[in-house]
Amino acid sequence: MALDGPAERRDEAQAAMGNGNGVAPPPLRPAGRPSGAPACADRRLRLNPNMEHKPQDYSDVRGEYAPAVYSALERHLPPSVLDANREIKLQLMREVLGHYWPHGERNKVQRHREYRQRILNHYKSAAGSWYKRAQLVGQEPLHKELYKMRPSSFFLPTFLEAIRTNTEESFRSIMTEPVPGVYSFAMLQPNFCEMLLQEVENFEKWVHTMKFKIMRPNTMNKYGAVLDDFGLEVMLNQFMEQFIAPMSTVLYPEVGGGTLDTHHAFVVEYGKDRDVELGFHVDDSEVTLNVCLGKQFSGGELYFRGIRCENHVNSETQHEEMFDYSHVPGRAVLHRGRHRHGARPTSSGLRINLLLWCRREMKKYQKDFSGWCGECKREKKERQIHAVKATKLAFLRGAGGATI
């Protein structure tokens, strides 16, 4: 019953901002000495972290790794470097982490970083310190209020109340769960959706005027934009940490829903002169939030086909795993990245959705998938049934033998 062809893995188009799923990092290697670092005999990382050491704050460090990675790695630095200044430690850690990437990947990340910086230098976010510097050449964001988290103007009161209460019961009270692991709930204020749509349009017009080549959100879309690229990254990180993580902590603990630390945020655009549909795929995320922003459209339903690990990504769909969802503006769908899905053709109008791929950069490579992969679970059940049958048979044979 696998009706949809092989499920593609949906990646970011231009740059993987961290280790891709399932790629085990090479072991830590000693790094070369950063210029200006104190000369010391032993420059090797400590195998065991120094838990008494309080790492510095790296929350302002943007780019290839999440700030949490630097804080964790600092505890592994050689004792002689621990008290060096922050820049020296940061430089050393960047060199260490540099060994983790294949060369091509590093170039891609570098190119993406330059691309984002070029945009940020011109398209001025209300929150940036480069705001004044760029005033003459750039374009104002249309809605500066979007660049700072303002919960009461972004979210519906029902949603905010559930998050404030912060219990599984309060989350479930505003949600439906039509198939296991897919949740739907009313989330965003209509005015926020409208403002975000206008901001994206403003950004795209500006890109067009500047004749910039825009990087699309990922490998499967020709339209849409990465929100993190034009100044919304900080706000969207708070969006994830304060408003998605509380839910994913209780709903998806087995895929690291409690330790999300990076995100990739973008909008996708479907309709005439845009993308039409989206093929069968899994996301490059632990947890995905998908919210329809508008406008008016027909079609574009999401279809779900069960959760699968890497080994079973193309295995058959069971009947009870099939589910179709019709988008409603302001309403969110929350699912695991590994929940196979696609989007049917948007047959008229224009549909724009906000996607937040939430990830765990500090991923522990999970070997036991049997807890969440639908096919692993089915195989395990089959093995158990088989074992029970074999035991019964052996018992009956034994009993039969005794009566003869």
Minimum CB distance to ligand AKG, residue 292 (Å): 7
Which residue's C-beta sits nearest to ligand AKG? 343
Nearest to 359 by CA among 234, 255, 215: 255
State the DSSP H helix or E strand holding residue 231, giving kind and residue range, or none if neither: none
| Residue of the chain from 283, 286, 361, 375 that contacts ligand AKG (CB under 6 A) | 283
- Smaller CB distance to ligand AKG: residue 16 or 268? 268
- Under rule CB under 6 A, residue 21 binds ligand AKG: no
Name 302's bridge partners.
325, 343
Minimum CB distance to Fe ion, residue 322 (Å): 17
Query: Which amino acid belongs to residue 132?
Result: K
CB-CB contact of 232 with 146 (8 Å): yes
CB-CB contact of 15 with 111 (8 Å): yes
Site residues for ligand AKG, 311-370, by CB under 6 A, read 341, 343, 353, 355
Please count the other Cβ atoms lying within 10 Å of the Cβ belonging to residue 324.
10
Minimum CB distance to ligand AKG, residue 40 (Å): 47
Collapse the DSSP code of 70 into the 3-class scheme (helix H, G, I; strand E, B; otherwise coil) and give the result: helix
- Smaller CB distance to ligand AKG: residue 8 or 140? 8
- Look at strands 278-283 and 8-10 and give their pairing: parallel
| Cα-only R_g, the chain | 24
Please count the other Cβ atoms lying within 10 Å of the Cβ belonging to residue 42.
11
d(CA 36, CA 318) in angstroms, rounded, equals: 60
d(CA 252, CA 258) in angstroms, rounded, equals: 8
CB-CB contact of 58 with 71 (8 Å): yes
Nearest to 262 by CA among 90, 50, 20: 20
- Smaller CB distance to ligand AKG: residue 290 or 315? 290
| Residue of the chain from 125, 290, 315, 317 that contacts ligand AKG (CB under 6 A) | 290
- Smaller CB distance to Fe ion: residue 125 or 288? 288
Site mask for ligand AKG (CB under 6 A), range 210-249, x = bound = ----------------------------------------
- Smaller CB distance to ligand AKG: residue 12 or 199? 12
With CB under 5 to 8 Å by kind, the binding choice for 93 among Fe ion, ligand AKG, none is: none
Minimum CB distance to ligand AKG, residue 323 (Å): 14
Minimum CB distance to Fe ion, residue 122 (Å): 30
Query: Which amino acid belongs to residue 213?
Result: K
- Smaller CB distance to Fe ion: residue 126 or 220? 220
| Residue of the chain from 9, 10, 338, 363 that contacts ligand AKG (CB under 6 A) | 10
Please count the other Cβ atoms lying within 10 Å of the Cβ belonging to residue 337.
22
- Smaller CB distance to Fe ion: residue 283 or 321? 283
Minimum CB distance to ligand AKG, residue 226 (Å): 12
Residues that bind Fe ion (CB under 5 A): 283
Please compute, for residue 396, the number of CA atoms within 13 A of its CA located in the half-sphere on the CB side: 6
Please count the other Cβ atoms lying within 10 Å of the Cβ belonging to residue 334.
27
With CB under 5 to 8 Å by kind, the binding choice for 308 among ligand AKG, Fe ion, none is: none
The binding site for ligand AKG (CB under 6 A) comprises 10, 268, 278, 283, 290, 302, 341, 343, 353, 355
